[in-house]
Amino acid sequence: MLWCFIVRPDITIGVSSSKSQTHFPFPYQPYSIQEQFMQALYGALDQGKVGIFESPTGTGKSLSLICGALSWLTDYEEKRRQEAAALLQEGEAALSTPTAQSSITSSSAEPDWITDFVQKKAERDLVSKLKEEELKRKKREERLEMIRNNIQLKYTMKRKEQTEELGGEEDEELIIAEYDSDDESKSKSMFHGAEDDDDDLVEEHVTKIYYCSRTHSQLAQFVHEVQKSPFSKDISLVTLGSRQNLCINEEVRRLGSIQRINDRCMEMQKNKHGEKKPHPEEGVKRKRGPAKTACPYNKVSALQQMRDEVLGTVHDIEQLLKLGKETHSCPYYATRLAIPPAQLVVLPYQMVLHEATRKAAGVQLKGQVVIIDEAHNLSDTLSCIYSAELTGAQVNTAKNLMYIKQILFVIEGLVRVLGGKVGQNPQSQTNQTGTNMFTINNFLFKAQIDNINLFKVLQKYFEKSMISRKVSCSVSVLLCAVSSADPQGSVETEKVLSASPMMQVEGFFMALTTSNTDGRVLLHKEGTLSESSIKFLLLNPAVHFAQVLKECRAVIIAGGTMQPVSDFKQELLFSAGVAEERITEFSCGHVIPAENILPLVLCSGPSGQELDFTFQNRDSPHMMDETGRILSNICNVVPGGVVCFFPSYEYSRRIISHWEASGVLARLANKKKVFQEPKKANQLEQVLSEFSRCIQVKVELSGLNGALLFSVVGGKMSEGINFSDELGRCVVMVGMPYPNIKSPELQEKMSYLDKHLPHSGGRSPGQALIENLCMKAVNQSIGRAIRHRGDYSSIVLCDRRYSRPATLSKLPTWIRDRTSTCTTFGPAFSALRKSGTQKKSSTADFFNLLNQITE
């Protein structure tokens, strides 16, 4: 994993310190590379450097990050306290000492007494401010301690209830009553709202670390690591998520799509302010349709109680849901209330990287630390987040809902540019198919909306009036009623339900305000207006990332491998204004012994057929048959699980169909049970469960030796799923997964890079992009196998092109240094057989080591 630290030199850190941390709290004796990692992490933050850190998956990196970063945060806060105390002491001493007569003649005509008065006033103001900050800090600490003590007492009484039949309920009520009956300034929460003297504390953000990753499962895994760390009892952590993940209102959850859930939630918030009667008790049958009800889980006192419990104890998403149900309060809103006083905030990518989402969530980056994990595709992630797409159906629906003149004029222009006619059914309007790419300015001219100031439209009609949200809520309620009346529903209705049109329109308008150089508009016409679309493509992700870098005290970019680092720095760091002298790099190897990994580049198969899976050659029957022979030989000598990655879903379908017809698939099934990556995401867990069970029981009764799983690079199994131990004793990569060079989006991106980035090493930035996309996908796939120190696996790269020095250089260092190139199949087969024989006898030992190091 790679950590990149970007520390702003213009922000002081309290008392400066050049010392390096020599001891880090850790749950067990750390490995040497973990100590080096934490030392380098601490130093990079302390010295204000831009650090690029590479640490492979399976090296205990999450705990190293947690313990290193939180050690720094603890020391940072202590330094600030020491500095404040020293300044306060100096200030009070200066105030108590009469001002000496100045011996220097002032150049101004001001009398000395005025100069003395101004100086004394500045000193008094500083002392007052320092005292105020110290008082606030003590209040925060005292209240947090009170919360933790009350939570501990409550949990103790709950445990007592489980063992004693009498008296438990009364005792718990007493404890809660004592907590709630404290004096008014402390009663409901650690930072009570507008009715007490500490109102300003509600908006005050303490120094914190924001940790973000791609998926909620990755965030949950990180929280579990924090719970295992020595900091678990002392850190205030809050986990943020979407309404879809955090909502506990079953009526709302049943709506399914995230947009419908968002719309219904906001509608209920609007109803809350106008509703005087209490919400009906649970169990009362409600009328269907747009019911004017407020959410029963959005009560101020309950939200404040839950916020306090969140800050007092570390919770993951599942624990937050349970806590929300127990306290009858909304986890979505309670966690947002907990952001300002929290020291560690765990949240999805979007809430940090997207400015509008960041502001809506109450995330403030100024002077804070941000960690972006799993960031090997950070550039693509940023481009995706800031891209926007509108279908003809959405444009037409928005037009029918919106009557504000300027917005209607722009929407009608979008209808025309898609080839449609205003006021007619988009499904009945036919089109000539085709795809065209425009600069932003040329698209505005094409749509005849170049005379509209989109900045003012967004500010006046969207930001101030929140019109997109209001219209979206009404649309959602209306369409829900339509959906209830028509259970079958139409595809058109379902599309609108899943994405409210005005929210999409607002996003597209915002995208069109991007600099003409940094974006493009792709106009795609299908057979009907309804199926046609307009898509905005962000070509320069650094323009938005620069804002994050500028606001934050430090930004940490993490990935198992970020190779090639030079291209990453050029596209996202240098282009965002980070200077070369502020960047330092650190890389460590893997904790596994050298003999536990066997990476092989295979240039030819068993029959001598050269392995060249270029687009022209890969569909050859000879190439497909040779691939089958390679897998058959591997399955003969490799025990447990073999995972085979194909470059695309289409090629996977073609080669498996060929094997079915030729009998190769049947022969493979006689050696290992064969599984295929499912097309539907909801089937993934079942396939993985059966694959795992088949290997663990070793299917001895059937005579099979493990299982073979066919997967796709960039698919559901190439990221985020671990094939540790027996599940992945060999990973086979068939061909090189280059992206579709004919894609208009990719061609435009290559052209942009060629124009704006320097050429190096005899290659253009556009060519480098193609190679990097391919090898990043390869690295993610082959990294699925080695997951901890006791693990072992073989990696077989089936394509002679992997032997090129430039390609080998893009493999992770710990793999590249151990890779052998085999021009013939014999030596590769011998190495695989020898490795399988030596390791097979000690498999049980490796299972015992499984839990020693976790991600």
Residue 734 phi/psi, 5-degree rounding, is: -90, 110
Q: Containing H/E element for 271?
A: helix 258-274
Task: Quote the pLDDT of residue 68.
Answer: 92
Q: Looking at residue 676, what is its pLDDT?
A: 92
| 55 C-beta neighbours (distance < 10 Å), count | 30
Tell me which residue of 392, 761, 673 sits closest to 665, measured CA to CA. Answer: 673
Q: What is the pLDDT, as a whole number, of residue 183?
A: 35
Class of domain 209-262+295-367: alpha beta
Q: Please compute, for residue 434, the number of CA atoms within 13 A of its CA located in the half-sphere on the CB side.
A: 8
How far CA 291 is from CA of 271, 288, 330, 473, 480, in Å, comes to 9, 7, 20, 12, 11
Retrieve residue 504's tokens. 């999409």
The H or E element containing residue 3 is: strand 2-6
Q: Answer positive or negative: Cα dihedral of 354, 358, 364, 368.
A: negative
State residue 468 phi and psi, 5-degree precision.
-65, -40
Segments of the chain with pLDDT less than 50: 1-19, 101-106, 162-202, 275-284, 287, 289, 467-498, 699-701, 841-855
Q: Report the first-to-last Cα separation within the chain, whole angstroms.
A: 10
Sheet holding 434-439, edge to edge: 388-391, 533-538, 519-525, 434-439
Q: Strand, helix or coil at 555? A: strand
Q: SS3 for 600?
A: strand
Fold classified for 597-740+778-853: Rossmann fold (3.40.50)
Sequence spans of domains, the chain: 209-262+295-367, 385-475+499-540, 597-740+778-853
Residue 492: C-alpha distances to residues 345, 478, 496, 507, 514 (Å): 39, 14, 7, 20, 30
CA distances from residue 68 to 45, 62, 229, 287, 379 in whole angstroms, order as listed: 10, 10, 11, 55, 26
785 CB-contact burial (10 Å; exposed 0-12 / middle 13-18 / buried 19+): buried
pLDDT for the residue 292:
61
Cβ(358)–Cβ(351) under 8 Å? yes
Rounded Cα–Cα distance for residues 286 and 682 (Å): 31
Could you give the residue ranges of the DSSP H alpha helices within 709-743? none
576 φ/ψ sector (left φ>0, alpha ψ -120 to 50, else beta)? alpha
What is the 3 state secondary structure string of 118-132? HHHHHHHHHHHHHHH
- What is the enclosing helix (H) or strand (E) of 630? helix 621-637
385-475+499-540 and 597-740+778-853 have identical folds: no
How far apart are alpha carbons 790 and 399 in whole angstroms?
61
Alpha-carbon gap, residue 829 to 817, rounded angstroms: 20
Q: How far apart are CA 41 and CA 65, in angstroms?
A: 8
Lookup result for tokens 């590479």: 54
Residue owning tokens 């006046």: 460
Task: Report pTM.
Answer: 0.80
Handedness of CA 209, 211, 216, 217 (dihedral sign): negative
* Strand segments (E) across 18-114: 50-54
Contact of 612 with 666, CB cutoff 8 Å: no
Alpha-helical runs (H) found in 638-701? 649-662, 664-669, 684-696
Beta strands in 509-618 (DSSP E): 519-525, 533-538, 554-557, 583-587, 597-602
* Residue-by-residue DSSP string for 175-220: HHHHHHTS-TTTSS-TT--TTSTTGGGGTPPPS-EEEEESSHHHHH
Alpha-carbon distance of 243 to 265, in angstroms, equals 8
Q: For residues 426 and 768, what is the distance between their CA atoms, to the nearest angstrom?
A: 42
Selection from 801, 804, 769 nearest residue 614 by Cα: 801
pLDDT given for residue 353 in this prediction: 92
Residues near 815 by beta carbon (within 8 Å), at least 6 away in sequence: 597, 599, 782, 795
Phi and psi at residue 521, to the nearest 5°? -120, 125
pLDDT of residue 363: 93
Residue 528: DSSP 8-state: B
Measured CA angle at 488 (ends 486, 493), to 5 deg = 75
User: H or E segment at 732?
Assistant: strand 730-734
Q: How far apart are CA 706 and CA 691, in angstroms?
A: 9
* Helix, strand, coil percentages, rounded to 5, for the chain: 50, 10, 35
Per the document, the length of the chain is: 855
Overall fold of domain 385-475+499-540: Fumarase C; Chain B, domain 1 (1.10.275)
CB 71, CB 21: distance < 8 Å: yes
Partner residues linked to 555 by β-bridges: 370
Q: Report which of 786, 684, 680, 810 is spatially closest to residue 738, judged by C-alpha positions.
A: 810
The gap from C-alpha 143 to its chain's centroid, in whole angstroms, comes to: 32
Taking the C-alpha atoms of residue 691 and residue 642, their distance in angstroms, rounded to an integer, is 10
Q: How far apart are CA 620 and CA 716, in angstroms?
A: 27
For all residues of the chain together, what is the average pLDDT? 78
Torsion angle, alpha carbons of 246, 252, 254, 258, to 10:
-60
Residue 525 bridge partners (DSSP):
434
Exposed/middle/buried for 459, CB within 10 Å: 0-12, 13-18, 19+? exposed
β pairing state of 533-538 and 519-525:
antiparallel
pLDDT given for residue 633 in this prediction: 94
Residue 635, judged by CB atoms within 10 A of its CB (0-12, 13-18, 19+), counts as buried
pLDDT tens readout for residues 2-23:
444 444 333 333 333 444 556 8
Predicted confidence at residue 474, as pLDDT, reads: 38
